[in-house]
Amino acid sequence: MGNDDCLFCKIVAGEIPATIVRETPRTLAFRDIAPKAPVHILVIPKEHFGDVVTLAEADPEVTAEVMGTAAVVAEYEGLAADGFRLIFNTGPNGGQEVPHAHAHLLGGAPLGPMLS
């Protein structure tokens, strides 16, 4: 099921350590190794999908579970009141570096307008 060369599949398999903040049957949330905000958490499907488009087309239920995990983690991390940002970088123009679908959950400070 995992992709042997994929960094995030290795995190799912426990072969690379990560600070896990929440696990559900089909999703995992863990802290980004190089945080770009006071709170920066990645939410992924445990199964390998190359990007969010592939994920959404292949498995709407897991897509919803990723969104649900992100929402619960945002609450637990105290981000719900002041807000946060949820991003799926996709493909080269989107700046995606790890080819396993993932949502970035960013918050804990004003992040400013994204496009400026």
Site for Zn ion in 41-70 (CB under 5 A): 48
By three-state DSSP, how is residue 73 classified?
helix
Residues 30-89 that bind ligand 5GP (CB under 6 A): 30-34, 89
Q: Which of 46, 100, 102, 104 binds Zn ion (CB under 5 A)?
A: 100
Structural contact between residues 2 and 13, judged by C-beta atoms closer than 8 angstroms: yes
96 binds ligand 5GP (CB under 6 A): yes
How many angstroms separate the CA atoms of 116 and 103, rounded?
22
Q: Round to whole Å and give the CA distance between 41 and 18.
A: 11
Determine, following the binding rule CB under 5 A, whether residue 89 of this chain makes contact with Zn ion: no
The residue from 9, 12, 18, 52 that contacts ligand 5GP (CB under 6 A) is 18
48 catalytically annotated: no
In whole angstroms, give the CA distance from residue 36 to residue 106: 8
Smallest distance, Å, CB 37 to Zn ion? 24
